[in-house]
Amino acid sequence: MSSNDLSWPVYRITSLDSGKQYIGITKRTVSRRWMFHRVHSRSTRYRNYNSPLQRSIRKYGEDRFSIEIMYTAVSLREACAVEKGLIATYG
């Protein structure tokens, strides 16, 4: 299966408290990717433990975020282009 055979959700996570947003892409479901973000926020063994998103999850709590699919791309290349554009738009 090539990367073109998959759908590539481009998603946005928003802190309900700070309003800060994170835009990302995944080849998994968005709910599964959110689970990984939460797991990585709990353990220092993950390299992104201290990323801004993981720190925010620890600070505000996992239930204080909204997650939405912004776009579903048909290839990784398309997903990366859309992600870049959304980051430019939403910061």
Instruction: Write phi, then psi, for 11 (nearest 5 degrees).
Output: -125, 160
Q: pLDDT of 28-85, one tens digit each?
A: 999 999 999 999 999 888 888 899 999 999 999 999 999 999 999 999 999 999 999 9
Query: What's the pLDDT at 46?
Result: 86
The pTM of the full predicted model, rounded to 2 decimals, is: 0.88
Asked whether 72 and 8 are in contact (CB, 8 A), the reply is yes
Query: What's the pLDDT at 5?
Result: 57
Classified as helix, coil or strand, 57 is helix
Classified as helix, coil or strand, 82 is helix
